[in-house]
Amino acid sequence: MITTQFAEEVRKILRVRMNDLADVLAGGGAQSFEAYKDITGEIRGLAYAETQLLETAKNVEEGALNK
């Protein structure tokens, strides 16, 4: 249970950052294509980290971490 709670708290942090970056893009905040690539790359990385975090937490809770 504590693993799930921890994962949920970290997921919230990741989501806030992803949403902030999406707001920057939506507001025209990328001043160049390079900035746009950096922002979208960070969003992609955060989304990947979120997926891995949730999968790992689920596996730990289910006792299936050792594959």
Tokens of 64: 């299936």
- Structure tokens given for 4: 């799930």
Percentage above 70 pLDDT, the chain = 93
pLDDT of res. 33: 97
57 contacts 5 by C-beta, under 8 angstroms: no
Residue 43: name the closest of 66, 61, 22, 12 by CA: 22
Give 43-63 pLDDT, tens digit per residue. Answer: 999 999 999 999 999 888 888
| Coil, strand or helix at 49 | helix
Q: What angle do CA 53, 55, 56 make, to 5 degrees?
A: 65
Cβ atoms 14, 53 nearer than 8 A = yes
Domain ranges of the chain: 1-27
pLDDT of residue 27 exceeding 80, the answer is yes
pTM of the model: 0.85
Please tell me the least confidently modeled range out of 4-8, 17-21, 40-44.
4-8
At residue 11 the predicted structure's pLDDT band, cuts being 50, 70 and 90, is very high
